[in-house]
Every structure is written in C-alpha cells, then in structure tokens.
Amino acid sequence: MGYITGQQALGRAGQVLVPEGKWVQYISSPKDTYALYATGHFRSAGLLPPGRATKLYGREVDDEGNSLRSSCNYQLSGHEPGARWWSINVAPADELSVAASFTARDAILTSDGDFSLAISKHASPGNWLQPTDFGAMRVIMIMNEPYASAKTNSALPALKKLACE
Amino acid sequence: MTARLYWLFTAAFLGIAVHIATILYLPNASFGRNLARVTNQAPNNSFFVMKPEQQVALLATATAQDIVGLCLVDVAKGNVVISAHGLNQLWSVAIYNASGHQVYAINDVEAGTGDFNIELSKSKSLWQQVAGKPDAEDAKVIENIGWHAELSENSAIAVLWMPVPDANQRPALESVVRATSCKAK
C-alpha cells in the first residue's frame, strides 16, 4: 500500500491545473510543502526538474477534452508566449522529456503578435510541428525567463483538433 | 481489541515507512541511473557539451535545438571553478544539488558579456560555523574572482544552457560554450 501511494504521489506531484484551460503547470519550487514529491516526479523519470527561471506547461487533451493522438491534426493558436525564449514540444503521453520541438527561432507571427502552429504528421504551410507515431501524445510548452506579464498564466494557447486519420 | 489495534498501528506504520522509502529511494535511483547513462560516466569536474539526444533525456526543459553543457561537480577535495564566456544573448548557468533542487543560477543579464567565473565551495556545517574563525578573518581568504555559490553537499550538477536563435550561428555558439571549463581549484 505504501509503495502504491508513493508511486501515485510521485506521478501526480507538482502539477497544477491552469484555470480556464486544459494546460497543467509543472511546479517544483523547493519552497513548496510538497517539493520532495514535485522534484521526485521529474527525478523518477530520470530528469532534472525545471529551473526557477523556467515555466513548464503540458496538456494531454484538446480544447474539447479529447485525448491527444499523434495521428490527428491539431491547430495550436494564441498570443506569442511572453518569455525571452519559448518552445512548443510534443512527446509521448507517458514521457516528460520532449521528442520534437518548435522554438521561438522558427515562429512566424502576425503583426499583432499572435501565432498559429499546425501539429501534424503531414507538412503544413506556416508554423508546423511534426510528431512521430507516439499514439497518445502530450503537448509541452516551455517558457524560459518569462516576462512579468506572463506570470499570471493568462492567455495560454488554445489547441483545436482539426481531423484524424 | 488490543491485538487488533496493535496490528492496525503496525500496518499503518509499515505503510508510511514504505511510502517514505519509495519517494526517497525511487527518484534517486532512477535519476542516478539515467545520469550515468546520459553522461556516459563522465569524470567529475570536467565540462562537456552534450549531444542533442543526451540533453533532452536529462533536462525537462531542453530541446534538441539548444546547446547544453554539463559538469558533474565534486567539491569534496576543494573548491571548483567554472569559467565561461558570456555572450550577448540569452544563456544561463544553473547549479543543481544532488537532490535535483536548483541551488544557484545566473544568466546573461546578471553576468553581462565577457569572461566570468563561478566558484563553488562546500558550505560550512553548523559545527564549523560555531567553532570556526569569525567572519572578519574569513573575509581575508575570500578571493574576488567573480560569482560564488555554496553547496550543502559534495556533489552537484552544473548546467550551461543556451538557445540557438539562428541555426547558422550554431557552430560559432557551440565553440564558445565548448571553451567553458570546470576545474578543481
């Protein structure tokens, strides 16, 4: 029983659901009461947890609450993440480390700072991120050194399913 | 009744003990295994630039496009100095302790451009603080070499992270990062 509760606690620790959205923020501040669990969550996956100047978000469902699949096409859209550097990544749902990335370097933005990113196995015009055959998929957003205006978790991008194969 | 209570408390105690053992042991064991695999048993106090597949396997917030350098720091035998060149673009150096907590970090805004050093030393134990020299005498032995961080444990992980704003710049940026050193003083 202790082993099972330990495993479950490590699996879910340090995840905060962002209000009004489907994003989850991963927090591992050493000042938190449950810091041991939160850092353990990453370390049990063999990873160093996010640093203090980094915000890490993930989601496994689209805006309608359906599980993300690598065989489907998605449109991620919103305002450019408010950080000095950012990336949108995809990974298998059961893994925390990223598998394919689209970074600020390659982003094409509209004149008012919005962007739209196609997440699809097939080439798409404009911003495009190509997952491989993961099956169940997780979308991860990394914000390195977020601006003060981005610290409220507001205006995280929406993720809409377009079609599935 | 007493026997039932005894077994109930024993079961609860065992459950809590196993829970604590799980959350303490499992993450350390998994992380230690992965670190050894990813760093390929790299020697302590030596800096190396990681391959893209290594960096995404070790850092939750790194992508394959970034440049990531790593040093397995060991201050058991004395202080360790990290010397790097700060470029006029986003970069950061973060020090993680053996438990995975970030204990120190510095970025381009704080360090500025140009060469800089970070000296890592073992913090004094409570006994050493009580029985050691007063601060005024200690101040004489501190060298003004740049930035300084104290570690509560002998081992730590230093990570230099730099995004690549233009793919064409990667070789030049990587050569600057590769020139970073991490050596015992």
Does B28 share its domain with B87? no
Give the pLDDT of residue A160.
95
Q: Which region among A16-30, A76-90, A105-119, B171-185 has the lowest average model confidence (pLDDT)?
A: A16-30
Chain B: residue whose CA lies nearest to A88:
B63
CB distance B94–A46 less than 8 Å?
A: no
CB distance B18–A1 less than 8 Å?
A: yes
Instruction: Please tell me which of the candidates B21, B60, B63 has its beta carbon nearest to residue A49.
Output: B60
Residue A51 contacts B, CB cutoff 8 Å: yes
Q: What is the mean pLDDT of residues A6-30?
A: 79
Does B142 share its domain with B95? yes
Does B165 share its domain with B82? yes
Does B16 share its domain with B83? no
Does B110 share its domain with B123? yes
Does B36 share its domain with B67? no
Segments forming the whole domain that contains residue B3: 1-41
Does B94 share its domain with B8? no
CB distance A39–B58 less than 8 Å?
A: no
Q: Which region among A26-30, A118-122, B3-7, B90-94 has the lowest average model confidence (pLDDT)?
A: A26-30
ipTM: 0.87
Chain B: residue whose CA lies nearest to A10:
B23
Does B73 share its domain with B5? no
Selected for mutation to probe chain A from B31, B61, B67, B108 (highest A CB count within 10 Å) is: B61
**How many domains are contained in chain B?**
2
Number of H helices, E strands in chain A: 2, 10
Chain A (92-111) residues lying within 8 Å, Cβ to Cβ, of chain B: 96-99, 101, 103-105
Does B59 share its domain with B94? yes
Give the pLDDT of residue A72.
95
Does B123 share its domain with B152? yes
Q: What is the mean pLDDT of residues A105-130?
A: 93
CATH number at residue A60: 2.60.120.600
Residue among A153, A20, A138 at smallest CA distance from A83? A153
Does B5 share its domain with B59? no
Give the pLDDT of residue B125.
76
Question: pLDDT tens, position by position, for chain B (185 residues)?
Answer: 788 889 998 988 898 888 888 888 888 889 999 999 998 878 999 999 999 999 999 999 999 999 999 999 999 999 999 999 989 899 999 999 887 889 999 999 998 888 889 999 988 777 777 777 655 555 555 555 678 888 988 999 999 999 999 999 999 999 999 999 999 98
Amino acid making up residue A117: L
Give the pLDDT of residue A152.
61
pLDDT in tens, A37-77: 888 889 888 999 998 889 999 999 999 999 999 999 999 99
Does B5 share its domain with B78? no
Cα(A99)–Cα(B53) distance, rounded to whole angstroms? Answer: 9
Query: Which of A20-34, A115-129, A136-150, B135-149 has the highest average model confidence (pLDDT)?
Result: A115-129
